[in-house]
Amino acid sequence: MIEVEQKFLLNPEQEAKLLEGATLDYEKVNVDIFFDDDYYSLGKQDVWLRNRNGRWELKIGHKLSPGSLSRTYEELEEDGLIATWLGLPGEDLTQEILNAGYKQFAKIEKARRSYLREGFRLDLDKCDFGYDVAEIELLIDSIDGQQEANDKIAAFAKSIGLDNTPLRGKPVEYLYRFLPDHYQALLEAGVLDKI
């Protein structure tokens, strides 16, 4: 599955408007531990390897177009698919990831409230490092549908008066605040837009 998402900072009035008519799907706390090697090889490809609550996940970024506010990610959640993408045997994924030189660079705990409204998933995250962000997300089957999904998200956000100022994602904001060399390497690789 491929997710197309755009991030927003909300004031209380905007949050109320966003959640108007929405249905709470779930609330949970996620602990995400992010991994890369000393050369930021994954990050420089807009690939994010994380262990979320004890399960491995790999997010593979696909840039929509220059200046687009949405990000598109293919998510791999099965150990075998993750191992194949990383070129690992996949018999003991955790050990193989460590043996391949991937190390923890960030641990982010976030409280998430997730809602459904008009075909959109609305995630409101409060991170333990003081970054609270909302995401409007659509799931698509094929990368070919990303522009249409982006346009739907933009139209929905505009219809409820959300500010579409570009924002950094949670791990990128963490890098920006705490690991400037890592952040700069991804900027120079062209993976990140300067915000």
pLDDT, tens only, 154-170: 999 999 999 888 888 89
List of residues 6+ apart from 100 with CB closer than 8 A = 37, 86, 88
**Gyration radius (Cα) of the chain, Å:** 17
Report which of residues 130 and 3 the model is more confident about: 130
pLDDT tens digits along 18-43: 999 999 999 999 999 999 999 999 99
3-state secondary structure labels for all residues of the chain: CEEEEEEECCCHHHHHHHHCCCEEEEEEEEEEEEEECCCCCCHHHCEEEEEECCEEEEEEEECCCCCCCCEEEEEECCHHHHHHHHCCCCCCHHHHHHHCCCEEEEEEEEEEEEEEECCEEEEEEEECCCCEEEEEEEEECCHHHHHHHHHHHHHHHHHCCCCCCCCCCHHHHHHHHHCHHHHHHHHHCCCCCCC
CB 191 within 8 A of CB 46: yes
pLDDT tens digits along 89-98: 989 999 999 9
Question: 64 falls in which pLDDT band (50, 70, 90)?
Answer: low
Determine the residue type at 57: E
**Residue 3: what are its φ and ψ, rounded to 5°?**
-110, 135
- The pTM of the full predicted model, rounded to 2 decimals, is 0.89
CA distance 119 to 4: 13
pLDDT tens digits along 138-159: 988 887 888 898 899 999 999 9
